[in-house]
Structure 1
């Protein structure tokens, strides 16, 4: 079968790899000059199934109000008249119940755990390297109140058999020795033993090269204009002005831009671009840098060791498709990393980056078929695109190949939103 994938981020490339492994003739198109150049370029570096949870959670509306008073706040909402944003926020608030949180987190943990297993298998099959480490993630709590509030999360982890440890300050230092310099700032932590780290950009580019060896064709510098239809099928994709590309099956994996692509077809995906930021700096003192990933729960900032670099990622900014680099967001990242690892990296040499994370209001991605018989979607992973990439790509390839996926997928497709999720154009 001929499959055309729109988008060469980590989701599009993993989909291409698994489809090629299953014998399909695959072409990937992207407007960038290489794979993984947008949202996958400089994310936080975490493969964190244990930390997979929706932003929509009980208590979030109150927390959001408190965050607005913080100098280094994890959530930033710019005043906008955009109806699509306010509709997305309304549906996010509707998911801030205990029942919805348990349902959504269970979906996300299930897919993320499966994805991590797929990543491990892929590593063994291909020998791919990408500055990865398999030394867990430490969710660090600065207050006792934060530590006392993890019961809902650990209940889901217990239900799925996800290994974890609850640590006191001494335990946190034992797994992240550099924290001994700031032990007084640590109330405790939740260590997720099965979580990993790695450079998503490096992984995406190297997997694209492996996929090419399997016969996948990449067409870079190719802008997608619109999908063409004939009845209940896609008949082609218009690119670069007037050129039309055809295939038997199509996959929309364009991140935050996917809703704009499919909206003219009557497909309404509640995926909004949630802007994230990162800093990447050289390590100057290996013993004072993180061993793996430390998630600063107060500021929702992840601090990850990637080879000889430290990647600091965080902030959720609702500002439409703006990619302006804002100094206050940099200040938040710098504050978190210098507060916890003051001697680890050279902040003055840090590279500041921003990307648009495609997020759904319930946190669960959109992976699977659409109302058009030969059109599939792979988007909406939010902050967990790297974590869920291999699992989502494998699920998608299995569905296209007529196989039954190895993990539950019935609540991942776009039809879970039905008619109640309708948004104005961005």
Structure 2
């Protein structure tokens, strides 16, 4: 079967990989001039399969006023005259209900476990260099009450198959000596040895090469998709600057581009761009973290990528606006120097600002649409790298008509 995948980010490329492995004739269309140049380009770098809990959770509600009003808050809401923004925010608040949030957390953990299995299989099968390390993750807490709450949640995560242990401040520093400067700030930490890290952009570029040379996948860059040609409940082709491109099935993995493309077909996807920021600095050996670290107080993540350190954080509900870019990057740099002042050359930091395609409940949209040969694999928010391989396996199973390893309705749209 001829399958056309729209989008060459990490989700589109992994989808193409699973489909090509199934023997399909796969073509990828990408509007940019290379792979993974949008949300996949310089994300946090952590593969956090045990930390995929939804942003929408009852515990965030008491913190919302401070988070949304303070200039140095990790989460900021910048109101706009955009009905999509307000619909998304209302749906987010509804998704914070306790029972729904708990069920979403379970479903996300299951997808995370499938993704870990699928990535391990891919890494074993293909020769891909992306600074991949199975180095574990340490989430550090500055507030004793927050640390106590995290310890109480360990039973839930351990029941889902996650190996974890609670550490006091001294044990955190023993595990990660680069935290010595921050020791007075720490109440404790939760260590998850199974977590991993890697460079999503390098992974995507390498996978694109494997797809082309080993599996014969055609990748057309600088080929934006303008619209669909449909007839009698099926998609026949997509319109591009290269003309119409026909296929037997289409997978929409365009991230933030998915919603406007499908809106023309009468489908309103519940997605909105959440802005995030990152720094990538050359490391100072012996002073940069060796394990992945998350500073929960600041909502900042640190991922070692070979001789570089990726520092990422913040969520802005501001549409595609980037007017605050420099101020937010300066804030991120100050917050990083607060905990890892000697980690590397901050003056030489490579900076990035990206827009994560997020759903209100944090679950991606994976599965069929009202068009019988048009499929979704989009809306992964900040978890695209972590969930990509598992999502790709789900979409490939759905297209092949195989029994899926997870309940597909959990990620279906509409829901």
* Superposition TM-score tier, normalisation by shorter sequence: over 0.9
| Greater Cα offset, 364-373 or 69-78 | 69-78
Match of 2:336 in 1: 337
Structure 1 residue 324: deviation in Å? 4.5
2:342 and 2:234 map into 1 onto residues whose CA distance is 57
Deviation at 1:10, TM superposition (A): 0.2
1:264 is matched with 264
Matched, 1:228 2:229: yes
1:111 aligned onto 2:111: yes
154-163 or 214-223: which moved more? 154-163
Deviation at 1:64, TM superposition (A): 1.6
User: What is the alpha-carbon distance in structure 2 between the residues aligned to residue 31 and residue 324 of structure 1?
Assistant: 24
- Give the deviation of 1:152 after TM superposition: 6.4
Structure 2 counterpart of 1:2: 2
Structure 1 match to 2:288: 289
Do 2:151 and 2:190's aligned partners in 1 also have CA atoms closer than 8 Å? no
Secondary structure, in 3 states, of the residue corresponding to 1:405? coil
Greater shift, 192-201 or 168-177, is seen at 168-177
Give the structure 2 partner of residue 305 of structure 1.
304
Is the CA contact (8 Å cut-off) linking 1:72 and 1:299 kept in structure 2? no
Work out the CA distance in 1 between the residues paired with 2:48 and 2:323.
28
RMSD of aligned residue pairs (Cα, Å)? 1.4
User: C-alpha offsets along residues 108-152 of structure 1, whole Å, 9 cap, x if unaligned?
Assistant: 111011101111111111132210110111111011021022256
Runs of 5+ unmatched residues, structure 1: 417-426
Query: Does residue 159 of structure 2 align to residue 159 of structure 1?
Result: yes
Structure-2 separation of matches of 1:160 and 1:412: 18
Distance 2:271 2:110 in 1: 21
Matches within 5 A, 1:68-217: 68-150=68-150, 153-212=153-212, 213-217=214-218
Contact 2:116–2:389 (CA<8 Å) still a contact in 1?
Answer: yes
Which has the higher mean CA deviation after the structures are superposed, 70-79 or 362-371?
70-79
Cα separation, 1, equivalents of 2:14 and 2:236: 24
Q: Is the 8 A contact 2:151 2:166 kept in 1?
A: no
CA distance in 2, matches of 1:325, 1:8: 28
Counterpart in 2 of 1:413?
A: 412
What does residue 423 of structure 1 align with?
none
Aligned to 1:424: none
User: What SS is found at the alignment partner of 1:210?
Assistant: helix
Deviates more, 1:58-67 or 1:228-237: 58-67
Alignment of 1:242-261 (within 5 A): 243-261=243-261
TM-score (norm 1): 0.94
Give the equivalent residue in structure 2 for 1:420: none
Q: Name 1:419's counterpart in structure 2.
A: none
Structure 1 CA distance for aligned equivalents of residues 151 and 177 of structure 2? 26
Distance 1:410 1:67 in 2: 33
Q: How many Å apart are 1:68 and its aligned residue?
A: 3.7
Q: Name the residue aligned to 1:422.
A: none
CA distance, structure 1, for counterparts of residue 13 and residue 69 of structure 2: 40
Hey, what's the Cα distance between the residues in 2 that align with 1:11 and 1:204? 9
CA distance, structure 2, for counterparts of residue 102 and residue 238 of structure 1:
41
In structure 2, the partner of 1:378 is 377
**CA–CA distance in 2 between the matches of 1:156 and 1:371?**
36
Report the equivalent of 1:23.
23
Distance 1:365 1:186 in 2: 34
8 Å CA contact 1:106, 1:156 repeated in 2:
no
C-alpha separation between the residues in 2 aligned to 1:169 and 1:381?
33
TM-score w.r.t. the length of structure 2 is 0.97
Q: Deviations over 1:148-195 (max 9, x none)?
A: 222564243123111111111122112211112221111111112211
CA shift, 1:382, in A, is 0.6
CA deviation after TM superposition for structure 1 residue 337, in Å: 1.5
SS in 1 for 2:165: strand
Instruction: Give the equivalent residue in structure 2 for 1:238.
Output: 239
Matched, 1:367 2:366: yes
Contact kept? 2:18, 2:392, Cα under 8 Å = yes
**Matches of 2:224 and 2:152, distance apart in 1:** 44
> What SS does the corresponding residue of 2:408 show, helix, strand or coil?
coil
Structure 2 unaligned runs (5+)? none
Partner of 1:14: 14
Following superposition, the deviation at residue 408 of structure 1 comes to 2.8
Check whether the contact 1:72–1:331 (CA below 8 A) recurs between aligned residues: no
CA–CA separation in structure 2 for the residues paired with 1:77 and 1:68: 5
Change (3 A) 1:153 1:356: farther
**Per-residue deviation, 1:315:** 0.7
**Secondary structure of the residue that 2:229 maps to in structure 1?**
strand
Contact kept in structure 2, 1:105 and 1:156, CA below 8 Å: no
Q: Is the 8 A contact 1:142 1:188 kept in 2?
A: yes
CA contact (8 A) 1:314 1:333 kept: yes
Q: Is the 8 A contact 1:123 1:129 kept in 2?
A: no
Check whether the contact 2:53–2:109 (CA below 8 A) recurs between aligned residues.
yes
Shift in Å, 1:92: 0.4
